[in-house]
Structure 1
Amino acid sequence: MIYFDQAASSFPKPKGVGKAMLHALNEIGANPGRGSHQSARNAASIIQETRERASRLFGCTDPKKALFYSNATTALNQAIKGFPWSRGDHIIATSFEHNSIRRPLEYIRKQKGITITYLQWNGDTEKFIIDLEDAVTSKTKLIAMTHASNVTGTILPIEKVSKVARRNSIKTLLDGSQTAGHIPINMVRQDIDMLVFPGHKGLLGPQGTGMLLVEGDIELEPIHHGGTGAYSELIGQPEQWPEKYESGTLNTPGIAGLNAALTLLEGRSMENVPRETLLAKQLLKGLKSIPGIVCYGPQEHESRMPIVAFNINDIPSQEIAMVLDTHYNIAVRAGLHCSPLGHETLNTTEQGAVRASIGMYNTEEEVNFFIKAIQEIVSAYEDL
């Protein structure tokens, strides 16, 4: 199988990831923070080591504020729903937001009486920043923004956004679901107050893992309450980080796998243009040479994530994905990609789009085979 669905979940994983998970499952097994015996201490050590490594990699100065969740969606819910809102507060987001940001925002719009501005992106950074500055009001408390579109691979100018936020004393929440592991992120240097990322995409870790990293003094209201191991004598949720935000048993095998993936990332240099991005540009160039293909997002010479979204004439995107799967054994994702705002921006709400996303283990030969497959599909539809 040619796996071009890396933006949904990376595959294959480095061997060390599965090995670390099996070790935690078969050799440790205990509940971290729920006992003083050796196995519990070993489990707790895995958790702490992963907190410290993630903090180091992403520029979070306090590992206690590196929080574990079952995925990026849950982490985003904690950041958004737990933020200290007052009725009438204002949030700025973008037209590229995944439902993992949009739906919590719309929930607190109803529950808390806040207002939301979704900024449109048209490829012009200068205009985008002007629009951002114009959208800021005295009530703006948070800019919640994806780092890169999961539909088109467009990278948003987070450093410029953060400067606007800092000048206006606005907190920032960055969804790094598509960028973590692909391009460097440093919370201190880039003035990011809260960063969320999943373990299973560009970081090459396991599914069922995600993190929220908090930089500086932000007091969130926990959205989950329950057992925390320590501070059991308290009736209410403890005030200490990370226990305040991590009720219930953590996914120790998953976090062990994430730690292994982060260790590999820490050991390799982050290239200016990762190999998978070069392959995506090669794919984009090949697709654009085929009559009837419409591609979306940045051009070949522009910065982008290793994502290529396209359509073939007016053929439903799901149909193309099915043909690629059944006839060519190629895995892609089609439809709306949980980002209806992005598809409204692209005018593809009815058709959706075919998304091919590439990872570090994909090859040039696979890209060439994919382009040939699309050429054959286009020719077959022309003959109907």
Structure 2
Amino acid sequence: MKILHVNTNDIQGGAARAAYRIHKGLLEKNIYSRLIVLNKKSDDYSVINMGKTKKQKLIYKIRLFFDEKLKSFYRKRKRTTWSVNFFDNNELVEFINDSDFDIINFHWINASMLSIKDIEKITKPIVWTMHDMWPFTGGCHYSNSCILYETDCNKCNQLDDKKNTFLSKYILKRKYICYKNISYISPSKWLANCAQNSFLLKDSNIQVIQNGVDLEIFKKLDKSFSKNVLNLDMSKKYILFGAMNSTSDKRKGYDLLKKALEILKKEFYLKDVVLLIFGANKPQYNEDLGFEVKYLGQISDDVTLSLIYNSADVFIAPSREDNLPNTIVEAISCGLPCIAFNIGGMPDLIKHKKNGYLAKPFDIKDLAKGINFVLEDENRWNSLSENALNKAQRDYDINVVSDKYIDLYKKILGRDDK
């Protein structure tokens, strides 16, 4: 069995990290696996770089430019992630069709990795791991509570067109024509439910397989040791927040966290607390959040991430919309209680008051209450931490996750061998 994973990046971004971990998990199971990308940042021999030559880089930039240009006609569009995928990548399609890979596993194929029409040209069975909503919408990656993807994606509110929205409606129709011979995976029950209710995938078989992590890396470590390595104050409690572009991506809810911290400071009187942020650098002008803030910048190394989680006392993911964030999977695998709003895939990860706290969407007072709930009692924290570890070992071990992928691949190929 030979598997080719397709993702725009190899280790940069949440979908990339999830795809890379699945790919490496398959290799550990002696499955021949390769990951093909446009932007390779690792030095991993098993990652194929389709953007390494000057010609490839130029063609990629041209495709991306014209894809972005199509959106420019909507001058009032919201600055959300919204992908067109209109211009073809013939080189990649030819590589796939001429190869001896048995199954092509799509992940995040945007930023001009593949066009929608390219999908139809691929002659091999496709498995599509959906890391957001784009596979079944007219262009948005998260719908912001819009359900037009259930019908025709006309009048897209993210393009902010009050009249008929030609582009989003056209993209949905193009996907309807081009989607063939595809099996779908959703990391969360929420995304699977959205996909099942969509116009495009309502008749498709969608299997829920969670994202996984290496539990030999993301595991519980001595907190004093971890703090010492990162040069953190042993006497302080650390509230951790982090994601890709954590403070600038509105969907990640940093503005909601700041408001919750103001309430936490005024009503719960927590002392010796520090806000620890990764995925962002220190801004030019300091913000007064009522607590000391320490910025760790962009972190791409899993060992360092594990140390950070083990140094913290609680992880906050105040997202407005999210699928199954790697950050929470990583955090609970380190025994760190997590707090989030009760939205998207968060209930799959966090069991309210068992291994963390699910706040009412988007109640900042309840978010502050959740932080206090986790931090105020040491015995409670120990129980939450133990439950987090148990859940991670049961559901998010990459060895377990990769077995589920292998079982699906075998079913598609109709055989029992590896």
TM-score normalised by L of structure 2: 0.28
Higher relative contact order (CA 8 A, sep 6+): 1
